[in-house]
Structure 1
Amino acid sequence: MAFGEQPAYLRVASDLRQKIVDGVLPPHTRLPSQARIRSEYGVSDTVALEARKVLMAEGLVEGRSGSGTYVRERPVPRRIARSGYLPAAGASPFRQEQADESAHGTWESHSEQEDATPEVATRLRIAAGDRVMRTRYVFRDGGEPIMLSTSWEPLAVTGRTPVMLPEEGPLGGCGVVERMAAIDVVVDNVHEEVGARPGLAEELLALGGVPGHVVMVLERTYYASGRPVETADVVVPADRFRIAYHLAVK
């Protein structure tokens, strides 16, 4: 193969991908069979199979048991806002979005105490094994799961206070900033990093994805005078959503 020349399976995948994008192969259409790909492109069974695997890994097609491989519906990505909000009664950005009359968002959560893993301990600057409150969330829009979140708060900060449980008590459901302020902890900084990776099986099951789909992972940590008081992982399906930032210029 000459320098810069694509392998045969990538050339086949590229042509089929273009047909999907152009609508020649619209959603729910069965992808040409392996035998047909082999015949049309003059390639081996191995090349045809690898080309189909590429399209499946990209989320363009999906296999249906006993039926074949079909072009997937490609949703128009929607935005999930992460900033540009003025705190309204301490609400989180997601809850503020749901104040719109056209919004149909719901969420559920579950909190429990656990020992901090080494990774969580590093992010919270505590010792591995120190107690933390872990809260898991599933956010939905119109019944469709759109986002998962898992947060950890050190019980050395919130333990035996009215805000120990993020979704219960007098400030249940309020944002981290307001909850911490209620116990005289002033949050003055937040750090976020966004990355991407293949979704874990349990994440894709909860989000309605299929194995191999990519998710965006937003790692967020709130600080009070340099001390981490909450860290969280927010998981979003990459094919259906975009994380949007609006930053003020100072």
Structure 2
Amino acid sequence: MTFGEQPAYLRVAGDLRQKIVEGSLPPHTRLPSQARIREEYGVSDTVALEARKVLMAEGLVEGRSGSGTYVRERPVPRRISRSGYRPSSGANLFRQEQAEQGARSTWASRSEQEAASAEIAARLDVEIGARVMRTRYVFRDGGEATMLSTSWEPLSVTGRTPVMLPEEGPLGGRGVVERMAAIDVIVDNVSEEVGARPGLAEELLALGGVPGHVVMVVERTYYASGRAVETADVVVLADRFRVAYHLPVK
């Protein structure tokens, strides 16, 4: 193979991908069979199979049991707008942004205490094994799960207070900034890191993804005078959302 030359399976996958993108293979169309790919492109069965695997791993096609492989509907990405803290009237910031975009949002949550793992302990700057409150969320739009979130709060801050459970009590669901202020903890800083990785099996099952689908993860941490009071991972399918930042220049 000379410099710049692609393996045969990538060339075949690239041509089929282009047909999907430009619409000559529209959504719900059956992908050419392995035999047809072999004949049309003059390649081996192995090359044809590998090309189909590439398209499946990219989430462009999906297999239907007993029927074949079909082009998937390509979602139009929605924006998650990030512009710093805005006071809300009782809504988590992500919930508020969903509502502003006209999403028919509902959510479910579950909180339970656990020992901080090494990763969470480092993010919260607590001892490994320290008690934290973990809350898992599933956000839905029109009944379809679109976003997962898991947050951790150190019980050294919220334990035995009215805001120990993020979604219960007099300030349940009011958001980190407002809840912390109720116990005289003033949040003054938030950091976010955005990354991507292959989705975990349980994440893809919940979000309607396919094996190999990439997810985008927003790692967010709230601070009060330099002390981390909440850290969270927000997970969405990478082809369905874009994170858009609009920040003031100081």
The TM-score with structure 2 as length reference comes to: 0.96
Deviations along 1:70-109, whole A, 9 cap, x unmatched?
1000011111223356212353223323555943111110
- Indicate the residue corresponding to 1:214 in structure 2: 214
The root-mean-square deviation of aligned C-alpha atoms, in Å, is: 1.4
Rounded to whole Å, the distance in 2 between the matches of 1:239 and 1:99 is: 21
Distance 1:179 1:213, change over 3 A: same
- Indicate the residue corresponding to 2:132 in structure 1: 132
C-alpha contact 1:82 1:93 (8 A) present in aligned 2: no
For residue 196 of structure 1, report the CA deviation from its aligned partner. Answer: 0.4
Residue 33 of structure 2 corresponds to residue 33 of structure 1: yes
Q: Structure 2: which amino acid aligns with 1:19?
A: K
- Indicate the residue corresponding to 1:15 in structure 2: 15
- Indicate the residue corresponding to 1:81 in structure 2: 81
Distance 1:246 1:13, change over 3 A: same
**Structure 1 residues 1-250: aligned runs within 5 Å:** 1-83=1-83, 86-97=86-97, 99-100=99-100, 102-250=102-250
C-alpha contact 2:117 2:129 (8 A) present in aligned 1: yes
The TM-score with structure 1 as length reference comes to: 0.96
Give structure 2 stretches of 5+ with no counterpart. Answer: none
C-alpha contact 2:80 2:97 (8 A) present in aligned 1: no
SS of 1:15's partner is: helix
C-alpha contact 1:28 1:71 (8 A) present in aligned 2: yes
Rounded to whole Å, the distance in 2 between the matches of 1:47 and 1:126 is: 52
SS of 1:10's partner is: helix
Distance 1:104 1:51, change over 3 A: same
SS of 2:54's partner is: helix
For residue 112 of structure 1, report the CA deviation from its aligned partner. Answer: 0.5
Deviations along 1:110-146, whole A, 9 cap, x unmatched?
0000111111111111111110000000001111111
C-alpha contact 1:83 1:93 (8 A) present in aligned 2: no
Rounded to whole Å, the distance in 2 between the matches of 1:19 and 1:168 is: 51
- Percent identical residues: 84
Rounded to whole Å, the distance in 1 between the matches of 2:124 and 2:220 is: 11
Rounded to whole Å, the distance in 2 between the matches of 1:62 and 1:34 is: 14
